[in-house]
Amino acid sequence: MKPVLIVGAGPAGLSAAQALSAVGQRCILVEKEATLGGAPILSGYAKLVPSGEWAKDAIGGMVSRVEGNSLVSIHKSSRVEEFSGAPGDFKVRLSSGKNLEAGAAILTTGFTHFDSVNKPEWGFGTFPDVVTTTQVEQMISSGKGIRCPSDGRKPQRVAILLCVGSRDRQIGREWCSKICCTVSCNIAMEIREELPDCHVYIYYMDIRTYGLYETKYYWQSQEEFKVKYIKARIAEVTSNGEKLIVKGEDTLVKRPITIPFDMVVHAIGMDPNVENKSIAGVFGVKLQEHGHIAKGQSYASLGETSRPGVFVAGAATGPETIDDSIAQGKAAAMAAFALVHQKAPVAA
Ligand SMILES: Cc1cc2nc3c(=O)[nH]c(=O)nc-3n(C[C@H](O)[C@H](O)[C@H](O)COP(=O)(O)OP(=O)(O)OC[C@H]3O[C@@H](n4cnc5c(N)ncnc54)[C@H](O)[C@@H]3O)c2cc1C
Ligand code: SF4
């Protein structure tokens, strides 16, 4: 039986590799970076929602299980440059020059963090104390704690601005990134826990702590941690030389509001992987309208792409949580396994 090619070693790809090896199927895992683990490891996330586990333990554990698995052949710092053939018999050429064969492929190439310089009026890139949620995650996971990058002081007032690079037609990003409301509520509670005297405000259009996250994150952050929520439309983030100034309109009372802060956090969204056009070219798969890898639309073909034998899972298909990326990785693994064993692909 030919191995299954998995491209991208984030939560989705690692889960696909684990699932395939669990049923005795060989696979080839190709990752462009020198480290496995995807965004949670590469971007240094702290405690994950909803499990509360540290990313380095939870996703790091997935990495160790795959790295120690003799059925998974790992190619780090590599890309797939050529991919040809038919289901059950694909030929693969890696950037290292290595030629391989695979029976099926799973694309788990994930997303790219929104770059806040594309929202210049909100101060990122101009004022050092305007940071992103990933930078705050790194402050926490590194153990250095929440500090203003400009001078290392503990902030007394922090604003978290939601939907930066999501739900914003002006900059061509209509989609909701799904997890950033919950992640921001979690970060707000972590800041309050570390710095009990610090006031934390969340500026929002809507709060989308969907499903069971409403109680654990939205209500808990207000009731237990005294995080304040302002429904607002933000105009700009400036500075008076001493403090950052967030200007906007409180959309509940329809009045302008101007509030000073020490630190402003952009809750950045999930863009399509910047490499998706070239990935689509190499693998001969279609992209959907926003540039994510298009997946089958019927329930029977959710993990399929437009090319038979090539499957897709996780944030490569659009904003996804880690839990859902892991579940999709397993579903795609099952479909790929069925294909290489010449049975009909199983519905996701
Ligand atoms: C600030 C922030 C915090 C978040 N916190 C949480 C949280 O607490 N809980 C939660 O459920 N979700 C969280 N998320 C979402 C989480 O990051 C995603 O759900 C998850 O990373 C998706 O996993 P994935 O494997 O699909 O993609 P990724 O994690 O993006 O992994 C994709 C992998 O593919 C590799 N790759 C990309 N292109 C290629 C290529 N051409 N060739 C080879 N390899 C390639 C990448 O290097 C990467 O290793 C957060 C998101 C953000 C923005
Ligand atoms: S999850 Fe929340 S912050 Fe993220 S895009 Fe959706 S509404 Fe905005």
Report the distance separating Cα 190 and Cα 100, nearest Å: 46
Residue whose CA is closest, atom 35 of ligand 1? 8
17 in Cβ contact with 4 (< 8 Å): no
Closest ligand (CA of 54) = 1
Q: Give the gyration radius of the chain's Cα atoms.
A: 22
Closest ligand (CA of 162) = 2
In this model, does residue 344 exceed pLDDT 80? no
Please work out whether the CB of residue 133 comes within 6 Å of at least one atom of ligand 1. yes
Residue whose CA is closest, atom 5 of ligand 2? 176
Report the distance separating Cα 294 and Cα 310, nearest Å: 11
Among 87, 146, 123, 15, which residue's Cα sits nearest to residue 345?
Answer: 87
Tell me the per-residue pLDDT of 129-156, one tens digit each, with 9 for 90 and over. Answer: 999 999 999 999 999 999 999 999 999 9
Report the distance separating Cα 234 and Cα 250, nearest Å: 9
Tell me the per-residue pLDDT of 190-199, one tens digit each, with 9 for 90 and over. Answer: 999 999 999 9
- How far away, in angstroms, is 302 Cα from ligand 2 center? 24
Which atom of ligand 2 is closest in space to residue 177's alpha carbon? 5
Tell me the per-residue pLDDT of 255-292, one tens digit each, with 9 for 90 and over. Answer: 999 999 999 999 999 999 999 999 999 999 999 999 99
Tell me the per-residue pLDDT of 290-318, one tens digit each, with 9 for 90 and over. Answer: 999 999 988 888 899 999 999 999 999 99
**In the structure, what pLDDT confidence band is assigned to residue 346 with cuts at 50, 70 and 90?**
low
Could you write out the DSSP letters of every residue in 201-234?
Answer: EEEESS----TTHIIIIIIHHHHTT--EEEEEEE
> What is the predicted pLDDT for the residue at 217?
98
Report the distance separating Cα 318 and Cα 269, nearest Å: 11
Please work out whether the CB of residue 269 comes within 6 Å of at least one atom of ligand 2. yes
Coil/strand/helix, residue 248: strand
Residue 281: count other Cβ atoms within 10 Å of its Cβ. 11
Name the residue type at position 155: P
Which atom of ligand 2 is closest in space to residue 162's alpha carbon? 3
Angstrom distances, CA of residue 64 to CA of 45, 79, 211, 326: 17, 21, 31, 16
